[in-house]
Amino acid sequence: MLISSISGLKSNCLVFSPSGDFLIADSNGKNINIYEIPTGKLIDTFQGHSNIIRSLVCSPRGNFFVSGSYDNTLKIWELKTKKDIITLKAHRTEVTATAITPDSSYIASGSKEGILKIWSSATGDLLHTIKAHNSAITSLIFHPNNKFLLSSSQDNLIKIWDLSLTKPIHIFKDHRNWVNSIDITKDGNFVASVSHDKTLKLWDFNNQKLVYSIKAHDDWIKTVVITPDNKHIITGSWDNSIKIWDFISQKLISTIKDHQNYILSVAISPDGRYLATSSFDNTLRIWDFEEIKSKKNTMNNLYYSIKKDEITDPISYNEAKVKETLLNIGTRYSDIRILELGEKTGILDNSLIERVVVGMINNREIYAHFNPKSKLIVFDQQANIDEIDRLMKIYRDWEKDIFGDKKN
Domain ranges of the chain: 2-288, 311-398
Burial group, residue 164, by CB count within 10 angstroms (0-12, 13-18, 19+): exposed
Burial group, residue 264, by CB count within 10 angstroms (0-12, 13-18, 19+): buried
For the chain, helix, strand, coil in percent to 5 are 20, 40, 35
Question: CA 60, 66, 70: angle at the middle one, nearest 5?
Answer: 150
Q: What is the pLDDT of residue 397?
A: 63
Q: What is the pLDDT of residue 189?
A: 95
Q: What value does the mean pLDDT take over residues 61-65? A: 92
If pLDDT is split at 50, 70 and 90, which confidence band does 300 have? Answer: very low
Q: pLDDT tens digit string along 180-201?
A: 999 999 999 999 999 999 999 9
Please indicate whether residue 316 or residue 62 has the higher confidence score (pLDDT): 62
DSSP letter for 364, please. Answer: T
- Reference 242, options 180, 332, 338, 182; nearest CA is 332
DSSP letter for 103, please. Answer: T
pLDDT exceeds 60 at position 310: no
- CATH classification (class only), 2-288: mainly beta
Q: How many residues does the chain have?
A: 408
Partner residues linked to 286 by β-bridges: 4, 276
Q: What value does the mean pLDDT take over residues 137-154? A: 96
- Reference 121, options 98, 140, 93; nearest CA is 98
Q: What is the pLDDT of residue 111?
A: 96
Q: Percentage of residues in the chain with pLDDT exceeding 90?
A: 61
Q: What is the pLDDT of residue 224?
A: 98
Q: What is the pLDDT of residue 35?
A: 94
Q: What is the pLDDT of residue 302?
A: 35
Q: pLDDT tens digit string along 357-377?
A: 998 888 777 888 899 888 999
From CA 62, how far away is CA 81, in angstroms rounded? Answer: 13
**CB under 8 Å to 163, separation ≥6 — which residues?**
106, 118, 128, 146, 147, 148, 149
Q: What value does the mean pLDDT take over residues 157-177? A: 91
From CA 67, how far away is CA 97, in angstroms rounded? Answer: 9
The residue type of 331 is T
Q: pLDDT tens digit string along 200-220?
A: 999 999 999 999 999 999 999
If pLDDT is split at 50, 70 and 90, which confidence band does 294 have? Answer: low
The residue type of 350 is N
Q: What is the pLDDT of residue 342?
A: 85
Q: Please name the CATH architecture into which domain 311-398 falls.
A: Orthogonal Bundle (1.10)
pLDDT exceeds 90 at position 303: no
Q: How many CB atoms lie within 10 A of CB 7?
A: 9
Please indicate whether residue 291 or residue 238 has the higher confidence score (pLDDT): 238
Kind plus residue range of the DSSP H or E element containing 55 = strand 53-58
CB 35 within 8 A of CB 22: yes
CA distances in angstroms from 61 to 77, 85, 97, 381, listed in the order given: 13, 17, 20, 43
| Mean pLDDT taken over the chain | 86
Q: Which phi and psi angles does 74 have, rounded to 5°? A: -110, 145
Which of 1-5, 88-92, 145-149, 384-388 bottoms out in mean pLDDT, i.e. has the lowest?
384-388
pLDDT exceeds 70 at position 296: no
Q: What is the pLDDT of residue 34?
A: 95
Q: What is the pLDDT of residue 293?
A: 75
| Pairing outcome for strands 190-195 and 199-204 | antiparallel
From CA 179, how far away is CA 169, in angstroms rounded? Answer: 19
pLDDT exceeds 60 at position 315: no
Q: What is the pLDDT of residue 367?
A: 84
Q: What is the pLDDT of residue 305?
A: 33
DSSP letter for 21, please. Answer: S
CA distances in angstroms from 377 to 248, 348, 373, listed in the order given: 33, 17, 11
Partner residues linked to 99 by β-bridges: 108
Q: What is the pLDDT of residue 406?
A: 43
pLDDT exceeds 60 at position 306: no
If pLDDT is split at 50, 70 and 90, which confidence band does 408 have? Answer: very low
pLDDT exceeds 60 at position 62: yes
CA 177 vs. chain centroid, Å, equals 19
Q: How many CB atoms lie within 10 A of CB 271?
A: 13
Q: pLDDT tens digit string along 101-136?
A: 999 999 999 999 999 999 999 899 999 999 999 999
CB 287 within 8 A of CB 256: yes
Q: What is the pLDDT of residue 10?
A: 85
